[in-house]
Structures are given as structure tokens and as C-alpha cells.
Structure 1
């Protein structure tokens, strides 16, 4: 078998990059040849993390089958979120914390999925199970992944396991969880130099819901007004991408990491399904979502239910 390529989803976030690097380290320690790669450029938050712990960015690939016949997926399993030629390679393993959808393989594989807030929380268990010591820089990446995915343990996706894992990893690294975590999150909120396209797609995923296609992006900020002043340009970009990709609904979740609230900017021909899902009318394509911070747990499920009722 050729060298395993280990990667997360498109538009990679901190958990995707950190978990790919951490799992690759574990595999190599177990004498399994593997390389962490990425399906896009790291965002500002992830760059901060990599620089802080002096870890090189994984190289970016567009296809996998031209260099390997075997891959391992982290932080995703849905094929529309994966590498473009995923059907041309053999998936040997998955480590994930999301729903399982649109996924099947022709051969048996290692599959580890748990209902926790972050893939890195599962990886900490794997290091312990295989009795592999976690070096400082890998512990730092895993800690950062948990902070990112759980918004410093404030997200409803956060479990007691995530809290324990974050505290343990912070002890290994020798940092204050709260102080490091807040600085890390703030590093990812600077949108002054970002284009509307980057704001929409830096952390965006596409979901099939019934017969419809839904695109949901999320951006973390310390002041929601920084995004709302660009709403006109963002909506224009949304509409262009909707035409090009046949999206039925496009949502940008703008999340205040300090107040733990969000505002959604919504467009697309199926916008009424969003109103049905959240039982709130849109006002000029915008609606307040108090207490909503998690795309996975607080946005995707109600939208799924709304589209199921329609069908």
C-alpha cells in the first residue's frame, strides 16, 4: 500500500488541520507511513495556531488518486465535503464527530465516530489507547482544535469529555486554557482584509437536505456590525455562488464569540425553509439568533427537519 494521505474537509478549519497533523503523527509512531495534507488554505485562526506552536502548514492537494490509493479522513465523512476524487481512492479510516451521511465503502475500514465537540478529543483517547506520548506541539494543536470547535468550551456541542481533554492538553502544553483560548479565537476574527468571498467560504460546508442543497458558512467576530456593514456585497456574492452551484439555500452564520449569539444572513430560493426552521421572519435577509453558536447542533438539525417536512 502506498503512503496514506490524511486530511479533513474542504475549507479547512483548525480542527481539520490540527487533527490531520495529530493523527498522522500517531500513525507514523505506529510505523504506518502517512502524511497530513489539506484541501485548502488554513484560515487566520489556524495560521495563528500553527505559528504559535511552530508547525509547518500541510501541503495543499486538489486530488489524491494521482499520488496514493489510500486515504484517512478526519473531521468529516460526507463525500461532498471531501477531496474531489474521493471515489477513486480507498478510505482506510475515519475519525470524526459529525453525523454520518452519504458515506459507504466497498471494503472494511477503521471508523471511529463519537458524539463529542471536536475530533481532537477522540484523538486524545487514541493516543492513550496506543500508549503513544503526545509531544508539546501536537498537544498544542489538539488543544487549539477543541478551543476552536467548542468556542472555548461555550458551545452546546461541548461535552464533559471535551472539557477534560482541553484541561489535560493545556497542562501538557503549559498554557492557561482561558488566556490562550481567548487570544486564539480573537486571532481568527480579523476580517478587515477579507473579501466577501473569503468571509463566506473560509468556514463553509455544503449539505444535502432532502432534494435540496444548502450552503452554510460561519464567521466568528467580536463585533457583528463589522460584517453587517458589508451585507450588500456579501449578498451579491451569495447570489453569484448560488447561481454557479445551484444552491437552494445559502446561510452565513455571523457569531459573536464574546456574547455567544449569532446573526444569520440568508438568501436563496428556499429561504422560507429557514424561516420555518427557526420560526422567525427574515428582515432584509437577516435574523437574530440568540444563543446560537453551533452550525452542527443548532443550525443543521432544524433546517434538516424543515426540508423533511416539505418533502
Structure 2
């Protein structure tokens, strides 16, 4: 077997990067020639975590071949979220915490999907199950992933397994989850001088729901007015991207990490399905959704059902 490349989804977040590092190092400890890579550059939040724990960002790839045909996936399984040549590769493992869709293989594999808040929560268990100690820097980036995906354990996706894993990892990494976690989340809200066309792709995933092509993007902030004051610019960028890429619906969540509420910008059709799924009324491309923070739990299942009707 050639070198196994381990990677998360496109437009990687902290879990996609942290889980790739975590699984690659676990596989190495088990005797495999595994290497963490990424399908995009780390965002500001992930860079903060990598720098804090002295880790180098995984190198970015667009295709796995001809370098290798052997891969492992973390934090995703849907093909449209994966590497460009995924159909030509042998997937040996999948570790994920999302829905399972648009995924099939020609050979048996190890597939582990659990309804927890973060992929790194599952990986923490896997280290324990294999009696492999977690290095301090690995524990740090994995703890960062749990903090990020669960908004410091405040997201509705949070489970007791996430709480236990974060406490364990934080002890190894010698961090205070609250103090470090607050700094990490704030680092992720720095939008810098980036333009709307760039920002809407910073943390975005694509889905096919009952034949409807859906794009769900999310921006975390401590002050949503900075983005909402430029609402028309963001909506125009979303329309342009939807037309270019063929998305029927494009949703952008502007999530306040302090209040755990979101403003939602929407372009495309059918808008009535979005209204029904999120229990909101979209007016002029905008709605406020109290308590909405999770694409995985609060949007994807509900919108999938609404579009199927």
C-alpha cells in the first residue's frame, strides 16, 4: 500500500484540519504510513490553534493521484465535499459526525459515524480504544476542534461525549477550555479586509437535497452588524456564486458566537422551503433565527425534509 493521505472536507474548518492530524498520527502509531493533508488553507481560527500548539498546517492538495490512491476521510463523507478525484481512490476509513449521503465504495472499509458534536470527539475514543497516548500538541488541536464545532459546548450538537473528550484533551494540552476557547472563537471572527466574494466561501459546504443543489456557508462574529451593514454586497456575491456554480439555494449564516443566534441571508428558490425548515420568514433575502448555530443539526435535516415535500 502507498502512503495514505488523510484529509477533511473542502474549505476546511478546525475539525477538518484537527481530525486529519489526529487520525494520521493515530495511524502512524499503529504502523501505517499515513500523512495529514488538507483541501484548502486553514482559516483564521485554525491558524490560531495551529500556532498556539506549534503545529505546521498540513499541505494543501487538489487531487490525491498520482501521489497515492489510498486515502482516509475525516469530518465528511459526501463526494461533493471531498477531493476532486475521490471517485478514483480507495477509501480505507471514514471518521465522521455528519449525515451519510452520496457515498459508496467498491471495496469494504472502516466507516465510523457517531452523532456527536465533533469528529475529534470520536478520535479521542479511538486513541483510548487502541491504548495510544495522545501527544500534547495533537490533544491541543483536537480540543480546539471540539471548542470550534460546539461553540465552546454551547451548540445544540454538544453531547456528554464532547464534554468528556474536551476535558480529557484540555488536561493533556494544559489549557483552560474557557479561557483558551474564548480566545480561539474570537480569532475565528476576524474577517480582516476580505471581500464578500471571498468570505462566503470561507466556511461553506455543498449538498444535494431532493435534486436541489444547496450551498450552506457560515461566518462567526461577535458583532453581526458589521456584516449586515453590507447585506446587499453579500447577497450580490451569493447570487453571482450561485449562478456560476449552479446552486439553486445559497444560505449564509452569520452566527453571533456570544449569543448563539444567527442572521440568515438567502438567495435562490424555493424560499418557502427555507421558511418552513428554519421557522422564519425571509424578507429581502434576510431573516433572524434565534438559537440557530448548527448547519448539521438545525438546517440540513429540516431543509432536506422541506425540499422533499
TM-score, reference length from structure 1: 0.98
1:111-260 aligned within 5 A: 111-260=111-260
Secondary structure of 2:200's aligned partner: helix
1:15-164 aligned within 5 A: 15-164=15-164
Q: Which moved more, 1:167-176 or 1:81-90?
A: 167-176
Measure the CA separation in 2 of the matches of 1:278 and 1:32.
44
Secondary structure of 1:250's aligned partner: strand
Secondary structure of 1:201's aligned partner: coil
Q: CA deviation at 1:198?
A: 2.3
Q: 1:266-308: CA deviations, max 9, x gaps?
A: 0113223212323322121100000111111011111111101
Note the residue ranges of structure 1 that are not aligned, 5 or more in a row: none
Q: 1:104-132: CA deviations, max 9, x gaps?
A: 11110011111110000000111111111
Q: CA deviation at 1:246?
A: 1.2
Measure the CA separation in 2 of the matches of 1:227 and 1:164.
35
Measure the CA separation in 1 of the matches of 2:129 and 2:203.
31
2:38 and 2:58 in contact (8 A); partners too: yes
Q: CA deviation at 1:135?
A: 0.9
Measure the CA separation in 1 of the matches of 2:164 and 2:104.
32
Aligned to 2:289: 289
Q: What number of residue pairs does the alignment pair up? A: 309
Q: CA deviation at 1:193?
A: 1.6
Measure the CA separation in 2 of the matches of 1:303 and 1:2.
40
2:280 and 2:289 in contact (8 A); partners too: no
Q: 1:24-59: CA deviations, max 9, x gaps?
A: 111111110011000011100000000000100100
Q: Which moved more, 1:180-189 or 1:295-304?
A: 295-304
Secondary structure of 2:63's aligned partner: coil
Measure the CA separation in 2 of the matches of 1:198 and 1:182.
25
2:151 and 2:257 in contact (8 A); partners too: yes
Aligned to 2:274: 274
2:13 and 2:46 in contact (8 A); partners too: yes
Secondary structure of 2:32's aligned partner: coil
Q: CA deviation at 1:194?
A: 1.7
CA RMSD after TM alignment: 0.9
Aligned to 2:262: 262
Measure the CA separation in 2 of the matches of 1:119 and 1:190.
24
Q: 1:55-74: CA deviations, max 9, x gaps?
A: 00100000012210110000
Measure the CA separation in 2 of the matches of 1:93 and 1:277.
32
2:12 and 2:41 in contact (8 A); partners too: yes
